[in-house]
Structure 1
Amino acid sequence: MSVGLTPYPTQTDSALPWLESIPADWHEKRAKYFFREVDERTTSGEEELLSVSHVTGVTPRSQKNVTMFMAESYSDHKLCRPGDLVINTMWAWMAALGVARHTGIVSPAYAVYRPKDPDAFLPEFLDHLLRTKPYAAEYRCRSTGIRSSRLRLYPEKFLGIPIVCPPRSEQVQILAYLNAKDRQFRRLIRAKRRLIELLNEQKQAIIHHAATRGLDPNVRLKPSGIAWLGDVPEGWEVRRAKYSYREVDERSETGSEELLSVSHLTGVTPRSEKNITMFMASSYAGHKMCEPGDLVINTMWAWMGALGVARSAGIVSPAYAVYRPLAGSAMLPEFADHLLRIKPYISEYICRSTGIRSSRLRLYPDKFLGIPLVLPPRDEQQQIVAAITAGTRDANEAIGHANRAVDLLREYRTRLIADVVTGKLDVRGVELPPLDDDSTLDEIDAPDDGDAQEPLEAGEDGDGPD
């Protein structure tokens, strides 16, 4: 996608070792010559609450599906105005910063910097530049703290960082090029996501039929007695969850056990295997413990199907619910992992959850334990699990390939942006395709889980739906 781009013909040395050189007609000055820190506070807290993310920059909190802690009052929050640079001091090393496009308020722990010359940078260009990986690495080097999740980038450190500044006319050309390329990336990502959606629908159809009707197409059916479940094979039972599970609440004393994540996509998996950047607690002592075979439900995201059966021992958020199979239970953990994540059951979780809005719904234990579960004979459950594994193997492989393709597209886009905004590649005079008016592209590649860089509600570990 960057075929034909070449380095700038004349360059000069940069004060940044990792940058080495910049185009000869670009400026480079320490941030203190471009910005000054401001600390204006709201008295009412009624202004628009803004969120600061390494993914989306500075945006209204109302536009984000976040499940973070909501303060009782926002009085004394910091005010920011359009054009201000806002940095989440504690997550600067993740590039959690951006240029505000609205007047609003942000956490008093954040740093707000106002441009000394509003014409020096176009906001969109500055957003791209200061959120590149090289600059994020520079923030990390200049931050202080006892460990990575506690690093803080204080104002005197940020204001000492050299910032590159192209002529304004060149910033316009750079943004035009990046916007055109971004739409190309989004089209490709949209195509891959559509493929993934179709493959997941195919998987769901296989799992749903096998888990609720079995493998014998000629089996006699009987009414399950549950309207949303319909008929089930004649030899199957239907029992409420309380006859297969009991809630357990065992707590870790040290917090040193394997930290597990609960997702609507991957079920229960070790957090170490996931590429997530959520807030890391200073201690996991007091987290709930689970054993292999335990059913773990993300209480707040059950309506999205965020649950699964643990395959290894570990700890999960104290806000989650852990259910252990009763002694002698006929429910196989592997079968339950499939059954409890099909759409009819997810719809039932929604019906039985309570909350003021969808993103705050909670499925409490008494409600879950009252849900009817279909229960085939144990040997038939084993056959169903084996059939599902075989029947979804090709789809899983194709989904894996498509996800890796999306990851590579994102990586390439990130590298291209960094190379262009730091002056490594010259886009002046590059012929661009006309921009279309496909507004749906603006929604492609949007993040799914809330702001990964803001403090979480007590007891939440930030999995979201994953």
Structure 2
Amino acid sequence: MIEGLKPYPAYKDSGVEWLGKVPAHWEVRRLKRICRLAYGDALATNVRQDGPVPVYGSNGRVGTHSIANTKAPCIVIGRKGSFGKVNLSCEPVFAIDTTFFVDSRFTTEEIHWLYYLLEWLRLDELSKDSAVPGLDREDAYKRIAAVPPLPEQTAIVRFLDWAERRILRVIRARQRQIKLLEEYKQALIHQAVTGKIDIRTGQPYPAYKPSGVEWLCEVPAHWEILPLKWLAKCYRNGATPPTTKNFYYMGGTIPWYSPSSFDSGEIVSAPIRFVSNAAIEDGVARLIHGPALLVIVIGATAGRMTLMEQDGTTNQQITAFELPYDWKTCVFLLRQLRFSESWLRENASTATIPILNTNIVTHLPCLLPPPKERCAIVEYLDAQTAKIDAVIAAARREIELLREYRERLIADVVTGKVDVREIAARLPEEPLEEGAELAALDEAETLAGGGEDEENLGLGAVEEEVEA
């Protein structure tokens, strides 16, 4: 807790078990007696992408509009989809019909204080049990809160705004740090698997030759350049056994993968289901022997790749290349070929859905250094990326703890567990950061810039931190 925060001099029983005692001079009211949750409007036909007014739906800002239907400042609360999610805007907005909103017309309380109160009330925990979960206004109105006098609400807002700005700055700095670390990690992998740097010396190789490939440029003179199909024992597309025939799936032990099994990891994630030997024997599924490189060739994620370590099967959106190599060589090839994914997407046909031409995929150029060298490269990258991942994990954990601290601080302040009046009176005036809203904390995942940083990390500083 921030140093100097003390409890109020006198408390009273709120009459609500979970709320406990509240400051003696505060009132205890239901939300219905604090504000009215107004319904947003159906989106009008004059919506335009370059409109001056932000449009808010259940998930926050979703577009722009030519007019506003709220006054500033305004709280927007999701009632469908991300129900209960609270956003605060310091400018007029257009609230669409998947939201509730509150502005000065619908409460006599301080809007910024009400925003913090609604965050603490966790309206997202209220949902009707229906096909489409949503926030019911009457259920929300039953929530109980302690309400301080208006001058005290202003002091609470002043303090929480001050604390929030500092928390947000540190979170943004950590997120920028994570972004730089991810970029550094990818640059390190690219330099090693494409031969830009000799990992044994940390310098370029002594001799290079042209690769004739857009994303590879020049490559070490002693590395081979071979099409992917030459490296594979065989390659084949997957298939989907008829779901109407249960015996193809019942008691199945052979994993069956689809594009949804692909993630950022180097090994394919959980199978969608398992198929039986009957599916293989009847030719409605095709057994792939691991290790194999899996490439999505149909769909929005065409070009994505991963490895399958053990035997399995896939659907028809995936082409599998069985590799006759040790596991480290397979990992080396995956890390290298992943840098061609954006090129593959650009070259996919898009008449209806993206489809990769088989000839393009099978002729993907692969760089193959001597066996000992590619093994050394994989071991080097494993060691270096483990260090980077550890720093990233620590930064993410710090962000998580900061968010937990923010929630706890808001709870303690809006329920009167601590008295912030004295410290709020001593806080210096601070101009709002450009483009900053109090709800920006939830949107900070976008790594938005702007505002003062607690740290300013360049790639050089990132490298030093990893080594430390």
The equivalent of 2:277 in structure 1 is none
With over 3 angstroms needed to count, the CA separation of the structure-2 counterparts of 1:180 and 1:240, relative to structure 1, is farther
Higher relative contact order (CA 8 A, sep 6+): 1
* Partner SS for 1:112: strand
Question: % of aligned pairs identical?
Answer: 25
Question: Which of 385, 391, 407 is matched with 2:378 structurally?
Answer: 385
Is 1:435 the counterpart of 2:419 in the alignment? no
Superposition map of 1:204-353 within 5 A: 204-213=186-195, 215=199, 218=205, 220-239=207-226, 246-248=236-238, 250=240, 293=292, 295=294, 300=300, 308-309=306-307, 322-326=318-322, 328=324, 332-342=329-339, 345=340, 348=343, 351-352=346-347
Aligned length: 398
Question: Which of 57, 61, 64 is matched with 1:51 structurally?
Answer: 57
Q: TM-score, normalised by structure 1?
A: 0.66
The equivalent of 2:445 in structure 1 is 447
The equivalent of 2:413 in structure 1 is 420
Give ranges in structure 2 of 5+ residues lacking alignment: 49-53, 244-248, 275-284, 448-468
**Contact 1:38-1:114 at 8 Å conserved across structures:** no
Question: Which of 140, 151, 166 is matched with 1:169 structurally?
Answer: 151
The equivalent of 2:79 in structure 1 is 88
The equivalent of 1:184 in structure 2 is 166
**Contact 2:226-2:368 at 8 Å conserved across structures:** no
Is 1:394 the counterpart of 2:387 in the alignment? yes
Residue type of the partner of 1:50?
A: Y
Residue type of the partner of 2:332?
A: F
What's the CA shift for 1:225?
Answer: 0.6
Give ranges in structure 1 of 5+ residues lacking alignment: 64-78, 272-282, 357-361, 450-466
With over 3 angstroms needed to count, the CA separation of the structure-2 counterparts of 1:167 and 1:378, relative to structure 1, is farther
**Contact 2:223-2:370 at 8 Å conserved across structures:** no
State the distance in 1 between where 2:151 and 2:311 align: 58
**Contact 1:330-1:377 at 8 Å conserved across structures:** no
Runs (4+) off by over 6 Å: 254-261, 288-292, 311-316, 353-356, 440-445
Q: TM-score, normalised by structure 2?
A: 0.66
Cα displacement string for residues 4-35 of structure 1 (whole angstroms, at most 9, x for unaligned residues): 11222223333543321332333332233332
- Structure whose CA Rg is larger: 2
**Contact 2:293-2:305 at 8 Å conserved across structures:** no
**Contact 2:344-2:356 at 8 Å conserved across structures:** no
State the distance in 2 between where 1:292 and 1:23 align: 66
What's the CA shift for 1:388?
Answer: 0.8
Question: Which of 368, 392, 399 is matched with 1:406 structurally?
Answer: 399
State the distance in 1 between where 2:39 and 2:237 align: 51
What's the CA shift for 1:427?
Answer: 1.1
Q: Is 152-161 or 236-245 further displaced after alignment? A: 236-245
Residue type of the partner of 1:231?
A: E
Is 1:365 the counterpart of 2:356 in the alignment? yes
**Contact 1:120-1:165 at 8 Å conserved across structures:** no
What's the CA shift for 1:212?
Answer: 0.5
What's the CA shift for 1:421?
Answer: 2.4
What's the CA shift for 1:224?
Answer: 0.7
State the distance in 2 between where 1:355 and 1:176 align: 53
Taking only aligned residues, the RMSD between alpha carbons, in angstroms, comes to 4.9
With over 3 angstroms needed to count, the CA separation of the structure-2 counterparts of 1:400 and 1:111, relative to structure 1, is closer
